[in-house]
């Protein structure tokens, strides 16, 4: 078995892995390795051929492949090593990685620090339990996106899309532009799950109907999908009798959520947050296992790649310093708690002596509210939505002012306006 020794091993060559590897090297790590199972770097960005990426990072509206290419070009200018078509099988708590590829067989990689950047995968029909037959023609939206944009063929002519996540909305436009008919987008919640600009530019532009508080209750067809039955749902998501409607279609795309891919993390003994499905991390994006860091969609599902890059640079930078033995002093620890209308906050624990950037999501949409950052900062928000991640930074100076060792993040009514008024 071939053995390698590296300073920082990054698992996954998507946007998170690329940014983490670059930052690790910048921090001084001599030998940085990216391990990627696909035939090329760039991850999911390579199939996201639409534009709208990089508005924050590059002050420009890039397509997914363009955003990826900029990072790939930066990596190519360095001596960061890349293993493609290489599957990681196991990561141990001692930061030993077992991987395999068809050229070298098994590999054993000893890393001083490991960055988990494996991304996420799509929730499937099985997770929803939609009744009916099991014909061909039911795809996750991302799989269909790959068929169209990377492999170059259309998987259907007449589609219904279940779920109004961004990938589903993007695919509604993509199918329409390629000449297919999108009959409907069906969403169980009372509001769209994706970004508003995608609802406008992908559905309204093409007069594609969006049915809210509705779902697919049956799949019809023997060999190929022939139709789906949709129905409105009540507050408990139960179908309302009498609202059923059959829509003929040969394709059903599912855009019903993403799940961080943490099988390797769990094997290594990494503790997961049940809400995000990703590791519990500190200000350095380090998990409970010393020297194992996490960033990007494996940590929590993002809506903007710009945020993935920033978060991953932080992880990579701390991983690089860890590999060099610069672990810092044992600082005062502060626990982060999700309060009123906050579903989760990452990171979960911070140090009082290090700057930190929090990413969080709300539980429900609200307007004219204040994001209260443990009383240390109060930020006015005209509107908050679960689909749009909130970000806030704190300096060590601000953190020093916290009383106690718990910081409560909450969304509260504006001064002088009572919630129950």
Partner 1 sequence: MRKHITCTVCPLSCDVVLELGKDGEILSLTGNKCKRGEVYASKEHTAPERTLTSIVRVKGGVLPVLPVRTSRPIPKDKLKEGMLEVAKVNTQAPITMGDVIVEDFLHLGVDLVATRDLETAN
Please report the beta strands in 70-176, taking only residues with DSSP state E, as ranges in sequence order: 81-83, 87-91, 96-101, 105-116, 120-122, 138-140, 158-162
User: Which span sits near partner 1 by CB under 8 A: 67-75, 272-280, 318-326, 331-339?
Assistant: 67-75
Q: Binding to partner 1 by residue 204, rule CB under 8 A?
A: yes
User: Which span sits near partner 1 by CB under 8 A: 7-15, 199-207, 244-252, 313-321?
Assistant: 199-207
The helix/strand/coil state of 65 is helix
Q: Do residues 345 and 415 make contact, with C-beta atoms less than 8 angstroms apart?
A: no
Q: Binding to partner 1 by residue 177, rule CB under 8 A?
A: yes
Q: Binding to partner 1 by residue 102, rule CB under 8 A?
A: no
Spell out, one character per residue from 140 to 159, where the chain touches partner 1: x when CB under 8 A holds, - when not: --------xxxxx-------
Among residues 79, 133, 196, 353, the one that binds partner 1 under rule CB under 8 A:
196
Residue 236 buriedness (CB in 10 A; 0-12 / 13-18 / 19+) = exposed
Residue 300 has phi, psi (to 5 degrees) of -160, 150
| Spatial distance between the Cα atoms of 162 and 225, rounded to a whole number of angstroms | 14
Q: Binding to partner 1 by residue 417, rule CB under 8 A?
A: no
Q: Binding to partner 1 by residue 226, rule CB under 8 A?
A: no
Question: Percentages helix, strand, coil for the chain, rounded to the nearest 5?
Answer: 25, 35, 40
Question: CB of 265: closest distance to partner 1 in angstroms?
Answer: 30
In the region spanning residues 362 to 401, those forming contacts with partner 1, defined by CB under 8 A, are 382-383, 385, 388
By beta-carbon proximity to partner 1, the closer residue of 70 and 377 is: 70
Cα→Cα distances 332→151, 256, 342, 356, Å: 52, 40, 24, 14
By beta-carbon proximity to partner 1, the closer residue of 40 and 234 is: 40
Radius of gyration of the chain measured on its C-alpha atoms: 23
The residue ranges that bind partner 1 (CB under 8 A) are: 39-40, 42, 46, 49-51, 61, 63, 65-66, 68-69, 72, 148-152, 177-179, 195-197, 199-201, 204-205, 382-383, 385, 388
């Amino acid at each position: 078995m071939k053995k390698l020794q590296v300073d920082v091993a990054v698992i996954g060559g998507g946007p998170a892995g690329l940014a983490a590897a670059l930052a690790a090297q910048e921090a001084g790590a001599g030998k940085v390795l990216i391990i990627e199972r696909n035939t090329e770097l760039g991850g999911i960005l390579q199939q996201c051929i639409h534009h709208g990426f990089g508005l924050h990072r590059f002050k420009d509206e890039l397509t997914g492949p363009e955003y990826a290419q900029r990072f790939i070009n930066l990596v190519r200018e360095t001596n960061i090593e890349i293993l493609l078509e290489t599957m990681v099988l196991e990561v141990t708590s001692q930061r030993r990685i077992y991987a395999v590829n068809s050229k070298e067989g098994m590999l054993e990689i000893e890393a001083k620090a490991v960055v988990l950047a494996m991304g996420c995968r799509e929730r499937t029909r099985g997770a929803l339990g939609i009744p009916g037959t099991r014909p061909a023609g039911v795809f996750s939206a991302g799989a269909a996106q790959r068929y169209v944009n990377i492999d170059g063929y259309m998987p259907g002519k007449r589609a219904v899309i279940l779920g109004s996540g961004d990938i589903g909305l993007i695919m509604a436009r993509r199918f329409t532009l390629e000449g297919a008919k999108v009959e409907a987008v069906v969403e169980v919640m009372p509001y769209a799950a994706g970004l508003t600009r995608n609802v406008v530019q992908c559905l309204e532009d093409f007069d594609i109907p969006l049915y809210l508080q509705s779902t697919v209750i049956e799949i019809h067809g023997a060999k190929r999908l022939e139709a789906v039955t949709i129905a409105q749902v009540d507050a408990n998501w139960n179908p309302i009798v009498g609202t059923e409607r059959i829509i003929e279609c040969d394709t059903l795309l599912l855009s019903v959520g993403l799940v961080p891919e943490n099988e390797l993390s769990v094997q290594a003994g990494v503790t997961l947050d049940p809400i995000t499905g990703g590791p519990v991390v500190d200000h350095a994006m380090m998990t409970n296992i010393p020297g194992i860091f996490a960033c990007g969609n494996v940590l929590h599902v993002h809506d903007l790649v710009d945020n993935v890059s920033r978060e991953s640079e932080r992880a990579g930078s701390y991983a690089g310093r860890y590999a060099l033995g610069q672990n810092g002093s044992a600082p005062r620890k502060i626990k982060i708690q999700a309060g009123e209308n906050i579903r989760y906050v990452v990171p979960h624990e911070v140090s009082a002596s290090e700057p930190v950037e929090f990413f969080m999501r709300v539980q429900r949409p609200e307007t004219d509210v204040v994001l209260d950052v443990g009383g240390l900062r109060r930020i006015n928000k005209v509107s908050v939505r679960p689909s749009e991640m909130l970000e806030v930074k704190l300096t060590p100076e601000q953190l020093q002012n916290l009383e106690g060792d718990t910081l409560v993040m909450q969304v509260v009514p504006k001064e002088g306006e009572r919630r129950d008024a």
